[in-house]
A and B are shown apart, each in its own frame.
Chain A
């Protein structure tokens, strides 16, 4: 089912309407998510650095899903804002939720190099970052990057 959806999505990739849905259930899905994300974003005018930033941000939020919710999904979509085009990434799960979002968004790494939830990092990699979370309900992160 997934590969059929992916095939269809790939066939229509770049039409600005379609969404690519990647279930996050196993560690191997992280690789899929960032590869698909990079592939989709490469149809836009991004530098190779920006493509890497996008792929890395996807990896981080997807990893979060696995670590804290167990399962979830990543949605990838191309979008247009006026004359600029961009990629929108939604990371959704029905996990435990984040009690204190502002705390989670604080930079947890100093010299120790430990990364906490990795969210502040993902936020820095993208242009827009929005997080909605409800304890006991789940979490949804929407982040996007736009062409310059």
Chain B
């Protein structure tokens, strides 16, 4: 599978392993939404660290994924957008509404904690 989905407590982590074709992205969308429903996850982290190009289709699909996941009552965080990809996305005017972004998996999970109410417990002072 080009993007294996792992379970981490109440969250799911979708880790993209390599360049994805359009079909792969759609498959990810379907896998994630059905797994969120199955597992009753409260959050999803999609790790795009290895993705070398995030074009309009990818951005649209990620947006769709977050919207679907929101309808299922969960939050989405996209992590691992690399500097080069961020630059090209911004030049193309691509946004991924409906999903938060964080630097990496660690930050992404922390963000989910904060957003799904686990934050009070975890926040160190």
Contact = CB atoms under 8 A, between A and B. Distances in A.
Whether A and B touch directly in their complex, counting CB atoms under 8 A apart, is answered as yes
Nearest to A31: B21
A63 B55 CA distance: 10
What interface size band does chain B fall in? 20 to 34
Interface string A47-72: 01101110110011001000000000
Contacts of B87: 49, 52-53
- Shortest 6 CB-CB distances between A and B: which pairs? A52-B84, A121-B92, A59-B55, A49-B84, A56-B88, A27-B22
A77 interface: no
Interface residues of A, number: 26
Given A34-B53, A63-B55, A113-B97, A121 B91 contact: yes
B53 to A, nearest CB: 5
A53 B88 contact: yes
Interface of A: 27-28, 30-31, 34-35, 38, 48-49, 51-53, 55-56, 59-60, 63, 107, 109, 113, 115, 118, 121-122, 124-125
B95 to A, nearest CB: 5
A31 B19 contact: yes
Nearest to A34: B53
Interface of B: 19-23, 52-57, 59-60, 63, 83-85, 87-88, 91-95, 97
A56 B86 CA distance: 11
Contact of A115 (B22, B53, B56, B91): B56
A69 B21 CA distance: 19
Contacts of A118: 56, 92
B14 to A, nearest CB: 19
Contacts of B53: 34, 52, 55-56, 59
Contacts of B22: 27, 30
